[in-house]
Structure 1
Amino acid sequence: MPPQLLPASAAAFAPRATSVNVVLSSKVEPWLTQTLKRINRVKRPLNSVPQHQRCLTETLSSPSAIWTLTSIMLQKLPEAELRKDPNPLVEALFNYQLVHVEAYIVHVDMVLRNEVAYKLTPDSIESLIEYHKEVHCVDIAANTYDWSEKEIQVKKLHEEFIQAINKFVFRAHVSALEGLEEEGAGELLCGKSEEVKNNIMGLFLPLLPPPPRIIDVVRPPPLLPSSPAGANWWTQSTTQVSVRAPVDSWRVLPSSPSTTSSSTDTSTLWANIGLNEIQLPSPTPSFSQPYSTASLYYSAPQVSAPIPSLPLPSMLAQQPCGISVGYGGFGWDSRFQDYPTIM
């Protein structure tokens, strides 16, 4: 890309130069010749490149050579002070104003970049600065929450706008000179006015408040099995798992090898003995449990629950109560043959 060649008059806060910098190519375009002949009241010879350059330079350097780049509708007052009226036409007349953004040409290049450079006039710059201070800054300050450096940020934003609007230079193609009028005035054509409007309105930046502070929340460390608290947790869970549902011990068969033979022999005895002749031990053995209807329903014991050790039939043989313990206990009396048979 070729370098951007701009004169010193295009710098920020620089006054307007008495002469415009015009650079033409070795061959003049026909449309430029027709434009210069149209705007000049006095007929001037335009037979060479130097004649075109001299005529264009004198025309654009005239104090009356002011171009209207765009027109922007701006508020007269902040939003809190706007007039409310049921008639929208009355509101528009009292609350808004049409600002014409004017500029003058500081540079014409038809060799490298084929562009025309415009710089805003002091009056247009002053109007935009006043609107930014009196309306834009007031609105953005009212629409954001307060913090300690709010006023400082608003002033800084306004100072940055002053610098940006004074540095603003709009570049257009050299074909924009077709809109040249008498005495060097002119107006942008082909929709360039909308582009200027968007570029200028892009300089009105919003006020960005600082993000809210994030409060650090101190959270306790996670409970791990290796920590003391975690060890207590695992102990509690193990205790809960080890609790088993109550199971009637009379439903559990003894693991004695003589279970089959004892149950076979006693089946005949139970058939011949009446229920009234059965004697209960006194006192009741400590390992006997009362009858409960909970045994009618199946309850699956916990897998991790240990199986209690049950007394074997040989252990029950030492009880003096005989076979009567078979109904309330867990084993069979080995001395059932000593009892007389009841027919």
Structure 2
Amino acid sequence: MPPQLLPASAAAFAPRASSVNVVLGSKIEPWLTQTLKRVNKVKRPLNSVPQHHRCLTEILSSPNAIWTLTSMMLPKLPDSELRTDSNPLVEAMFNYQLIHVEAYIVHVDMVLRNEVAYKLTPDTIEALIQYHKDIHCVNAKAGTYEWSEKEQQAKKLHEDFIQAINRFVYRTHVSALEGLEEEGAGELLCGKSEEVKNNITGLMKPLLPPPPRIVDVVRQPPLLPSSPVGSIWSQSTPSPALPAPVEAWRVLPSSPSVTSSAESNTPIWANMAFSEVQLPSPTPSYSQPYSSAGLFYSSSMASAPIPALPLPSMLAPQCGVSVGYGGFGWDSRFQEYAATM
């Protein structure tokens, strides 16, 4: 893409130069020759490129060489102060104004880009800035809700427009010089004025309020049955561990033969068969005296780990009629024991 060649007079806030920068090619188009002959009051020779260059530069550098790029119908008052009337003509006269967007040519290039560059006049820039401040910004603030930095944003919006309208340079094809009139004035042809109007309207930005703040909602994860014990509830409020409930039938009665080494409440009948339980004989000469402590606890049983035994109700079928006297060792001594009694 060729570089954009613009003179210093096209910069923002730069004054108008005394001479227009004109660049012509080695061959002059016939339409340019006819245009220059039409606008010149005094006939001048136009037989070479330097003669065309000199004539065009003098015409465009004239103080009266002001072009009307477009005309914009803009409101005079903010929307809240507009007058309402049954006659549309009266309403338009009191509520709207016509601003002519005028500019002067700062650059003509017929070699690289074949374009003409226009810069707005100081009067047009001042009129557009005043409209933006008194009407556009007021409507923009009235159309948005209040927030803490609204005035600062509106002020910045106006300052940005001032910079943009002073930097505004409209470029169009060199064929626009066909609309050249006497003393260098002219108007844009072929519907280009509508394009200028859209470009200037695009510089008037709306006042955008800040987006609403998004509040993060912290949701607790659902407590599923498969969740581990150390969930967020147990970690947040730890509670002291409670002892497991002890069934009543596991509690051992107090007995002198029970030692302090018993640390488990496991039942004593875990590994004991009914055939191992021996009752004492009637006389001390045959067996040891009968003691009920052996049925409940012994030191040899407490020394080894004892697995859990089912509930006593599960042993009921074994303690029924099928258990005879032979299971308790009474088959051989029952007669002797009965005689002693």
**TM-score, normalisation: structure 1:** 0.66
Cα offset, 1:214, TM superposition: 1.6
CA distance in 2, matches of 1:229, 1:128: 66
Cα offset, 1:227, TM superposition: 4.5
Aligned twin of 1:204: 204
* CA RMSD of superposed structures (Å): 2.3
The residue type equivalent to 1:68 in the other structure is T
Aligned residue runs from structure 1 range 81-120, under 5 A: 81-120=81-120
Aligned residue runs from structure 1 range 36-115, under 5 A: 36-115=36-115
Cα offset, 1:217, TM superposition: 2.1
Residue-by-residue CA offset, 1:107-162 (whole Å, 9 max, x unaligned):
00000000000000000000000000000000000000111100000000100000
Aligned twin of 1:172: 172
CA distance in 2, matches of 1:187, 1:82: 32
Cα offset, 1:220, TM superposition: 2.0
Larger mean Cα displacement after TM superposition, 5-14 or 206-215: 206-215
1:118 and 1:222, CA in 2 relative to 1: closer, same or farther beyond 3 A? same
Aligned residue runs from structure 1 range 250-261, under 5 A: none
The residue type equivalent to 1:195 in the other structure is E
Aligned twin of 1:186: 186
Aligned residue runs from structure 1 range 97-176, under 5 A: 97-176=97-176
Residue-by-residue CA offset, 1:1-50 (whole Å, 9 max, x unaligned):
11000000000000000000001001110000000000011111111100
CA contact (8 A) 1:65 1:183 kept: yes
CA distance in 1, matches of 2:154, 2:11: 25
Give secondary structure in 2 for the equivalent of 1:141.
Answer: helix
CA distance in 2, matches of 1:132, 1:50: 44
The residue type equivalent to 1:226 in the other structure is P
The residue type equivalent to 1:141 in the other structure is K
CA distance in 1, matches of 2:150, 2:157: 11
Larger mean Cα displacement after TM superposition, 213-222 or 153-162: 213-222
Cα offset, 1:230, TM superposition: 11
Residue-by-residue CA offset, 1:202-224 (whole Å, 9 max, x unaligned):
00000111011122223222213
CA distance in 2, matches of 1:22, 1:104: 13
Residue-by-residue CA offset, 1:219-243 (whole Å, 9 max, x unaligned):
2222133357899xxxxxxxxxxxx
Unaligned runs of 5+ in 2: 234-319, 321-341
Cα offset, 1:89, TM superposition: 1.4
Aligned twin of 1:319: none
Give secondary structure in 2 for the equivalent of 1:70.
Answer: strand
CA distance in 2, matches of 1:147, 1:15: 40
**TM-score, normalisation: structure 2:** 0.67
Q: How many residue pairs end up in the alignment?
A: 240
Aligned residue runs from structure 1 range 263-302, under 5 A: none
Aligned twin of 2:268: none
Larger mean Cα displacement after TM superposition, 221-230 or 210-219: 221-230
Give secondary structure in 2 for the equivalent of 1:154.
Answer: helix
The residue type equivalent to 1:27 in the other structure is K
Aligned twin of 2:12: 12
Residue-by-residue CA offset, 1:236-274 (whole Å, 9 max, x unaligned):
xxxxxxxxxxxxxxxxxxxxxxxxxxxxxxxxxxxxxxx
CA contact (8 A) 1:223 1:230 kept: no
Unaligned runs of 5+ in 1: 232-314, 316-343
Give secondary structure in 1 for the equivalent of 2:43.
Answer: coil
CA distance in 1, matches of 2:61, 2:173: 19
The residue type equivalent to 1:199 in the other structure is N
CA distance in 2, matches of 1:145, 1:215: 20
Residue-by-residue CA offset, 1:291-326 (whole Å, 9 max, x unaligned):
xxxxxxxxxxxxxxxxxxxxxxxx9xxxxxxxxxxx
